[in-house]
């Protein structure tokens, strides 16, 4: 990276920090997660800067293959190495100390004490994230016994409370059931109970409702939101559906091909999206009761091959505005056209009122 580019990056980070209203909890700085494969290096996450403040819900939105799940796995220390490589900084702020998670050994006691305890994660598919040969109670108690200094019977009592809290009726009896006797929605509730068991400071939810029916989805999202508020947990919600995040997130980061192309408060993203990609994504979501016979507005083309990421602006192969500025072959800067609203696009200029 050239000095000028690095300088502007640092500047933007400073301004991003300034736009925060709360203390930082987790900070991703120039995060790069690469995978070395026989065909070449896949740059799944490529220079990502993101801050998750305390007690805030941040949504990371993007299409499949844009690197959003890999970002989560990098934070959790779940990237297999090799073929994976995690570079950059993942700064975790706790009690006046700052820990760089990339420098910790994945299996070290220190990381294991954080994982599941202070930072926990809910995965997409509740069918495969629960072990079929252990009872529900076993799996909830496991995390409590690992991280908390409590007896088995206390852990059981706490598990029943947790299951009750996530809306499982008859928790006292159902705790001894196996996952197969739970429906998809119920299993996801169990997974949420496990995620929140140790009262984590950050909960990462990776597409928590994608595998679930819409009538159940609403309930799960409401549950995550209310528990996040109650426990004062930060939330990193990863999803491909911009419709889902409107009701739940405070800040939104839109990701494309391993980098963040737009970041801002939820209202700004919805009402005045800046990046052509964000606009395309918003238009692609069908809305009830709006002119139905019209054609779908879509983002044309498709996500480029991970081995052939376009040089310069990565979105240029699908952008309708690249003729307007003629700079598609250069990497656009990450700008702040409006206070607190950042975009990586040549179409905009820095606002004057900094």
Least separation in angstroms between CB 63 and another protein: 4
Q: Which of residues 213-242 bind another protein (CB under 8 A)?
A: 213-219, 221-222, 240-242
Least separation in angstroms between CB 219 and another protein: 5
Nearer to another protein, 149 or 294 (CB): 294
Which sign, positive or negative, has the C-alpha torsion 273, 279, 284, 286? positive
Least separation in angstroms between CB 124 and another protein: 13
Least separation in angstroms between CB 39 and another protein: 13
Least separation in angstroms between CB 328 and another protein: 19
Strand order in the sheet with 119-122: 119-122, 202-206, 234-239, 57-61, 251-256, 259-265, 341-344, 334-338
Strand partners, 122: 205
Nearer to another protein, 136 or 141 (CB): 136
# residues contacting another protein (CB under 8 A): 46
Least separation in angstroms between CB 99 and another protein: 33
Q: Which of residues 94-153 bind another protein (CB under 8 A)?
A: none
| Contact code string over 302-341 relative to another protein, x by CB under 8 A | xx--------------------------------------
Least separation in angstroms between CB 115 and another protein: 29
- Indicate which single residue of 48, 193, 266, 319 sits in contact with another protein (rule: CB under 8 A): 266
- Whether the CB-CB separation of 52 and 58 falls below 8 Å is answered with yes
- Indicate which single residue of 20, 145, 270, 327 sits in contact with another protein (rule: CB under 8 A): 270
Token representation of residue 117: 């305890």
- Whether the CB-CB separation of 260 and 66 falls below 8 Å is answered with no
- Indicate which single residue of 101, 141, 163, 186 sits in contact with another protein (rule: CB under 8 A): 186
Report the relative pairing of strands 24-37 and 40-53 from DSSP bridges: antiparallel
- Indicate which single residue of 81, 134, 243, 351 sits in contact with another protein (rule: CB under 8 A): 243
Q: How far apart are CA 281 and CA 68, in angstroms?
A: 16
CA 62 to chain centre: 10
Q: Counting contacts by CB under 8 A, is residue 14 touching another protein?
A: no
Q: Which of residues 23-82 bind another protein (CB under 8 A)?
A: 63-64
- Whether the CB-CB separation of 189 and 223 falls below 8 Å is answered with yes
Least separation in angstroms between CB 245 and another protein: 9
Q: Which of residues 284-303 bind another protein (CB under 8 A)?
A: 284-290, 292, 295-300, 302-303
Token representation of residue 354: 């900094």
Residue 193's nearest CA partner among 155, 244, 242, 152 is 155
- DSSP states of 143-175 as a string? HHHHHS---HHHHHHHHHHHHHHTT-TTHHHHT
- Indicate which single residue of 28, 101, 253, 281 sits in contact with another protein (rule: CB under 8 A): 281
Per-residue H/E/C for 272-312: CCCCHHHHHHHHHCCCCCCCCCCCCCCCCCCCCCCCCCCCC
Q: Catalog residues that contact another protein under the rule CB under 8 A.
A: 63-64, 169, 183-186, 213-219, 221-222, 240-244, 246-247, 266-267, 270, 280-290, 292, 295-300, 302-303
């Amino acid at each position: 990276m050239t000095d000028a580019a690095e300088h502007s990056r640092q500047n933007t980070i400073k301004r991003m920090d300034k736009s925060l209203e709360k203390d930082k909890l987790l900070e991703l700085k120039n995060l790069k997660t690469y995978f070395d494969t026989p065909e070449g290096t896949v740059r799944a996450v490529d220079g990502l800067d993101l801050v998750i403040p305390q007690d805030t819900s941040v949504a990371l939105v993007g299409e499949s293959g844009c690197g959003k799940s890999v970002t989560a796995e990098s934070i959790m220390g779940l990237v297999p190495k090799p073929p994976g490589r995690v570079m950059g900084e993942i700064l975790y702020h706790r009690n006046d100390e700052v820990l760089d998670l990339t420098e910790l050994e994945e299996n070290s006691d220190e990381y294991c004490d954080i994982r599941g305890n202070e930072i926990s994660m809910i995965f997409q598919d509740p069918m495969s994230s629960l072990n079929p040969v252990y009872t529900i109670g076993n799996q909830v108690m496991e995390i409590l016994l690992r991280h908390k200094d409590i007896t088995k019977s206390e852990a059981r009592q706490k598990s029943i409370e947790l299951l009750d809290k996530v809306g499982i009726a008859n928790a006292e009896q159902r705790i001894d059931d196996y996952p197969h006797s739970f429906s998809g929605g119920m299993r996801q509730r169990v997974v949420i109970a496990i995620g929140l068991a140790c009262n984590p400071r950050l909960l990462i939810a990776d597409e928590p409702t994608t595998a679930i029916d819409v009538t159940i989805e609403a309930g799960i999202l409401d549950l995550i939101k209310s528990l996040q508020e109650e426990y004062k947990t930060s939330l990193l919600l990863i999803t491909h559906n911009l419709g889902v995040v409107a009701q739940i997130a405070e800040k939104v980061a839109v990701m494309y091909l391993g980098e963040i192309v737009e970041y801002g408060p939820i209202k700004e993203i919805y009402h005045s999206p800046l990046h052509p990609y964000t606009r395309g994504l918003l238009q692609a979501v069908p809305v009830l009761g709006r002119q139905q016979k019209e054609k779908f507005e879509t983002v044309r083309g498709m996500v480029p091959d991970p081995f052939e990421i376009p040089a310069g602006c990565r979105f240029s192969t699908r952008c309708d505005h690249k003729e307007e500025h003629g700079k598609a072959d250069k990497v656009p800067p990450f700008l702040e056209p409006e206070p607190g609203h950042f975009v990586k696009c040549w179409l905009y200029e820095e606002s004057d009122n900094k």
